[in-house]
């Protein structure tokens, strides 16, 4: 009876730790669905552009479709990445299957990047020259501040330059 209790306690502890580690990794990778918005992203991009009601009416439908697409595409990419890790962990790994999954992920990422570019070009057409300038400056600033999917030790803010290098 005591052995069963100890075995159950160990199993429970392992499962609990796996859950905590998984949640931590998802949060660090930016994949957690309840991720808090950083302080510098409290407002939506379009809210910082002071759009007129006419501009907003033209902007909102495209924005909503775009964000829906991004969410779906991100889930597909994430699923592919998880499958890739599964393939990499096999012993022995199947290089052909790994390459195929990698190519599928790259294709999804390429589609997403093309869609982002098209969206930015389309939406920037409705902006005044001043708004357009601010739009791209805000995007650039957010990209620079976003650590993306890099592990914490690879984030630029934490990487120290090599001896003799400057940042």
Contact predicate 147/53, CB 8 Å: no
> Does residue 45 or residue 65 have the better pLDDT?
65
Task: Report the 3 state secondary structure along 129-151.
Answer: HHHHHHHHHHHHHHHHHCCCCCC
- Characterise 50 by phi-psi region: left (phi > 0), alpha (psi -120 to 50), beta (else): left
pLDDT at 86: 95
Residue 34: pLDDT band with limits 50, 70, 90: very low
| Rounded distance between C-alpha atoms, residue 128 and residue 140, angstroms | 18
Q: What percent of the chain has pLDDT over 70?
A: 63
Residue indicated by tokens 């950083």: 38
Give the pLDDT confidence of 121-133 residue by residue, as tens digits. 998 999 999 999 9
Q: What is the mean pLDDT of the chain?
A: 78
Whether residue 94 contacts residue 87, with contact meaning beta carbons closer than 8 Å, is answered with yes
Dihedrals phi, psi of 51, to nearest 5 degrees: -70, 145
CA 5 to chain centre: 41
């Amino acid at each position: 009876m005591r052995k069963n209790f100890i075995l159950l306690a160990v199993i429970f502890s392992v499962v609990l730790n796996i859950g905590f580690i998984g949640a931590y990794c998802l949060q660090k990778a930016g994949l957690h669905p309840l991720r808090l918005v950083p302080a510098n992203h409290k407002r939506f991009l379009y809210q910082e552009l002071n759009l007129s009601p006419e501009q907003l009416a033209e902007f909102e439908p495209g924005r909503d479709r775009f964000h829906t697409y991004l969410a779906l595409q991100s889930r597909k990419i994430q699923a592919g990445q998880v499958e890739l890790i599964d393939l990499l962990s096999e012993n022995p790994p199947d290089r052909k299957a790994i390459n195929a999954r990698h190519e599928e992920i790259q294709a999804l990422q390429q589609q997403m990047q093309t869609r982002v570019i098209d969206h930015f070009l389309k939406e920037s057409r409705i902006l005044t020259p001043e708004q357009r300038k601010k739009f791209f400056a805000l995007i650039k600033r957010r990209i620079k501040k976003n650590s993306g999917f890099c592990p914490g030790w690879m984030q630029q803010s934490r990487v120290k330059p090599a001896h003799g290098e400057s940042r």
